[in-house]
Chains A and B, each alone.
Chain A
């Protein structure tokens, strides 16, 4: 029995589609009820429905063997996992964004900048680790674009897909922190103890991704 951690939403739907195409019976996972654990004994699969940010935690602790999760969550949570496949969908970028007049190196001129974000760990490691500068991080939980507009922060670190929300609010991408897409993660112990089930699954998933 393999336990697979998913988070409800688009990523889960695509992950389930991928698994079905790979030949796994995922009828259980498509249950529209509010059940959090969906088990199919015959298929040897158990799905757990978690918050996206919790998927790496379930997998790290071995409560789930496999997880489907965005690279943004993996970077932010910094969990000790095997990251075995890039699913190629859910593509977007983690960016530093701000008012258009901060482009072309002007952002670097602001000392001790204040940065609003949902991703404090990614922001800290980027500015401290890569750019080698001290910053003040303000953790927000949504509508991050608001912060520079209203003077709460100089810029933001957030996920950018099309950039439309930014543009409509007079903001733009200033720097790219990381490329994001959906990933398959595996618990380190499960990879050993259940390798006869997990390895073929990962291979089949990769084959399906190559077909996309």
Chain B
């Protein structure tokens, strides 16, 4: 029996009472929030064919939990909400273009081999929405606004949303005549704020000072409208200008909802290993966790991979990271004790059942003692457990 594994698997953990109650309540609030914005819940399977995730640019294969079905076909555990939603949207049989946009939402557990060093959770809960078949800044802003609202709903107070635009860099790269290899090199350098590599690559390519400074602005620029204006005076490429228009329209729309205080433009945000983003891209941050709690953006080419062209934008909030942050920020997740406990003397069980049901009908939680405690024992137990109301049914006047 020495080898028996009486512990949780590497990368997986229990969500304990208290925290679990908090989490489930938050999940309910998030589902309700999404419903109020007209999003419909969808449950995609926990297991999909590996094929849907392993398309180029989707998910690094080594990050997927894989298994086979009885015919030997490769399967993967649910990795994210977006790709299964894209598969679903592309496959709708009685599809009606006029019914678009499609508003879908989910609260699900995701499975990822996240970190070879351990320590990161390989199973975590995400709440997210996908707004599918909708182009333009209004759609982008709706999803960003909903991302902000969902973090606030989950209890986050200090929230910062960074908004970038993938096409701004694409346009600038074209304006400067970067070839594909150097563009990717500089993209990675911008993503990791590595100005040394950007400068070296510029010098190697013989770019002029203006071009170099424009590329160096990308990882560094943070602000709101001022950043857009600063780029506006320097970019000539059409796509880059459209990206700036998009950012400005998004900021306007968020401002009208009073959300601008949470938002800053970060022109260095260009996507990471999951690089299906094609337009706006955003991340949400709070104190006390080293990873973003919100991730989202526009993905106009993803549904097309499954056979139907559809402009989409979505986000996901990691509820697991959010709870870690809240706990470290000092939010208490202690459960409120049960409202009442009911004990009974021999022969009075029926009456006790009635008492308990009466309370439960009123929405109060009531434990019925099953261990034949005396009145004194019951009172001692209740006080130790923090249960305020003690009822002892003994046939007489209790």
Binding site for B on A (CB under 8 A): 57, 59-63, 80-86, 186-193, 195
- Given the known inter-chain contacts A63-B290, A188-B292, A193-B285, please indicate yes or no for A57 contacting B193, CB distance below 8 A: no
- Given the known inter-chain contacts A193-B158, A195-B222, please indicate yes or no for A83 contacting B285, CB distance below 8 A: no
Binding site for A on B (CB under 8 A): 117, 119, 158, 160, 162, 192-196, 222, 264, 266, 272, 285-292
A residues less than 8 Å from B288 (CB atoms): 62
- Given the known inter-chain contacts A193-B158, A195-B222, please indicate yes or no for A62 contacting B290, CB distance below 8 A: yes
Is there contact, CB below 8 Å, between A80 and B158? no
Q: How far is the CB of B197 from chain A (nearest CB, A)?
A: 8
Q: How far is the CB of A181 from chain B (nearest CB, A)?
A: 9
Which residue on chain B has the smallest CB distance to residue A206? B195
> How far is it, in angstroms, between the C-alpha of A83 and the C-alpha of B288 when the chains are bound?
21
Of B195, B196, B291, the contact of A189 (CB 8 Å cutoff) = B291
> How far is it, in angstroms, between the C-alpha of A85 and the C-alpha of B264 when the chains are bound?
23
A residues less than 8 Å from B194 (CB atoms): 82-84
- Tell me if B's interface is mostly helix, strand, loop or mixed: loop
Is there contact, CB below 8 Å, between B160 and A193? yes
A residues less than 8 Å from B158 (CB atoms): 193
- Tell me if A's interface is mostly helix, strand, loop or mixed: mixed
Q: How far is the CB of A58 from chain B (nearest CB, A)?
A: 9
Is there contact, CB below 8 Å, between A188 and B291? yes
Is there contact, CB below 8 Å, between A189 and B285? yes
- Given the known inter-chain contacts A188-B291, A193-B286, please indicate yes or no for A81 contacting B160, CB distance below 8 A: no
> How far is it, in angstroms, between the C-alpha of A86 and the C-alpha of B193 when the chains are bound?
12
Which residue on chain A has the smallest CB distance to residue B290? A62
> How far is it, in angstroms, between the C-alpha of A189 and the C-alpha of B288 when the chains are bound?
9
B residues less than 8 Å from A83 (CB atoms): 192-194, 196
Of A63, A84, A193, the contact of B193 (CB 8 Å cutoff) = A84
- Given the known inter-chain contacts A80-B272, A193-B160, A193-B285, please indicate yes or no for A61 contacting B192, CB distance below 8 A: no
A-B contact pairs, 16 of them (CB 8 A): A59-B290, A60-B290, A62-B289, A63-B290, A80-B272, A83-B193, A186-B193, A188-B291, A188-B292, A189-B285, A189-B286, A189-B291, A192-B162, A192-B285, A193-B286, A193-B287
Of A62, A63, A81, A86, the contact of B196 (CB 8 Å cutoff) = A86
> How far is it, in angstroms, between the C-alpha of A193 and the C-alpha of B289 when the chains are bound?
10
> How far is it, in angstroms, between the C-alpha of A189 and the C-alpha of B291 when the chains are bound?
6
Q: How far is the CB of B319 from chain A (nearest CB, A)?
A: 17
Since A62-B289, A84-B194 are in contact, a sample of 8 more A-B pairs with Cβ atoms closer than 8 Å, ordered by chain A residue number, is: A62-B288, A62-B290, A83-B192, A188-B290, A189-B286, A192-B266, A192-B285, A193-B158
